[in-house]
Amino acid sequence: MARKQQRARWTRRSAWIACLAVLLMVGISGCGSGFFSPSSSGTGSSTGTGSGSSTRNAVYVANSNPNLDTVASFSLSAGVLTALTGSPAQVPTVPSALAINPAGDLLWVGGELGEIYVYTTDAVGALTLGASSDPVGEVDGTVGSMVVDPTGQWLLVEVNTGTTPVIYVFQIDSSTGTLTQTTGSPVVLDTGSATQLAFTPGGTELFAALGTGGVDVLTFTPSSGALGKLNVLLNPLGSSYSDQGLAVDTTGTYLFVAETGTNGLRVLTINSGGSLSEVAGSPFAAGLGPKSVVVDATNAYVYVSNAATNTISGYALASATGALTPLAGSPFTTGSGPYSLTEDGTGTYLLAASEGGNPDLQVFTITASTGTVPGALVSATTASTGSTSSVAAAAIAVAATP
C-alpha cells in the first residue's frame, strides 16, 4: 500500500504540473477533468436529521498537496474564519473529494486510491476521524466527486476507473457514518471522466458531469437507493470542450453547466423525464476555464469560478426564463486557480478554494438584495489551509455545514 500511495502522489504531482502548463496555454479547454474535481463537495438539503448543533457554521477544505494530505476546518462567524481544534487534520489518503451530510455532523473524505474515510464533528465543527481510522467504504478507482442525497440516507460517489466512470451508491449509518454498498451499484456511465455530481432538490434526479463526455442524467429513488441511468446525454458544444461544474437551482427548474472551450456557463431547462433544453442566450460568457458553479440560497444569483483567470463571474438569475445578467463589478478576483465554490449554511458568504493558493481559502460576503449592488461579492477574509502560508496547499474541495 505504501508503494501504491507513493506512486499515486508522484503521478498526481506530475499531472498537476502538466495541467498548469495546459491551463496557461489553452485556458483549460478539456483539461483538468481527469484528476481534480472542480467542486467535489456535496450535500443534500437541510431536511436530514442528526445530533449537530443548529448554530454550527463550519467550513472544510481538502488539501491535496502531496506533502500535506489534510483537511482544514474553520468556524465562520461575522466574516471571520477561526481554525478549529486539530486543524488541519491528517487524512490517511490523498484527498480528492469531500461530502457532508444535511445534519452537518458527518464529513466524508474520498481519496485517489479509492478509500473513503469519515469524520464526525462536534458542536462547533471540529473533526474526529471515525471507524478506528479505517476506511468506511472503498471503490475501484479514484474518487472524483461525492454527494449526499437530500434525505441524508445515501452517499453517491462518482469514480474514475481508468476506462468508463461509474457511480457507487452507499447507504449511510446515520450514527457512525459507515457505508454499505447497495445492490446494483456501481452504475456505469457514458465515456468520459468523473468531475461533478448534482441532485435536484427533491433528490429524484441526478446529474453527472463527465468532462469531455458531457453530462449524464440519472433517476434516483430515495426510499431504496436505486439509481438508474436514463437515455439522456448532454454533449459539450465542441468536441474538445469539457463539462466541469454542475449546479441545480433551488426550484429544480434549471441545470447550470460550467463548460471549458465555450468559456461560459450553460443554462438548461430540466424537463419532465429528465430531458434538457438550452435556454435562450446560453452559454453565457464567463472567464477562462470555468470550473465550479453555485446558485445562492435565494435563487437570485449564480456564481462560477474561472480557474485560468483567477476570478469568479457573478450573475443575476431571471427565474422565469433562466437568463443570466452579469452583476456589477463582476468578475471578482480570487486566489490562483479557484477550483471549488460553496455557500455557507447561513447563505451570507461564498467560499472559494484555490488550488494554487494566494490565498488557499477566500470568504466573500454576498451583498444582500437591499444593498447598493445586490449579489456583488465583497472579500471578507482569507486563510491558509495548510501548515504554512508559504506553500500552496492545493486546496481542491470546500464544503460547509448546511
Per-residue pLDDT of the chain (402 residues; tens, 9 = 90+): 443 444 343 334 333 322 332 222 223 333 333 333 343 445 443 333 333 334 789 999 999 997 899 999 999 999 999 999 999 999 999 999 999 999 999 999 999 999 999 999 999 999 999 999 999 999 999 999 999 999 999 999 999 998 899 999 999 999 999 999 999 999 999 999 999 999 999 999 999 999 999 999 999 999 999 999 999 999 999 999 999 999 999 999 999 999 999 889 999 999 999 999 999 999 999 999 999 999 999 999 999 999 999 999 999 999 999 999 999 999 999 999 999 999 999 999 999 999 999 999 999 999 998 888 999 999 999 999 997 666 678 999 999 999
Question: Could you write out the DSSP letters of every residue in 85-142?
Answer: TTPSEE-SS-EEEEEE-TTSSEEEEEETTSEEEEEEE-TT--EEE-GGGS-SEE-SSE
| DSSP helix/strand/coil, 307 | coil
Query: What distance in Å separates the CA atoms of residue 282 and residue 188, rounded to the nearest whole number?
Result: 29
24: three-class secondary structure by DSSP: helix
**Any idea where the domains of the chain sit in the sequence?**
2-400
Cβ atoms of 165 and 35 within 8 Å: the answer is no
Q: How many CB atoms lie within 10 A of CB 58?
A: 26
Residue matched to cell numbers 506553500? 391
CATH number of 2-400: 2.130.10.10
Q: Are strands 301-306 and 311-317 parallel, antiparallel or unpaired?
A: antiparallel
Distance CA 219, CA 130 (A): 31
pLDDT score at 23: 29
Among residues 177, 172, 117, 112, which one has the least CA distance to residue 141? 112
pLDDT of residue 390: 60
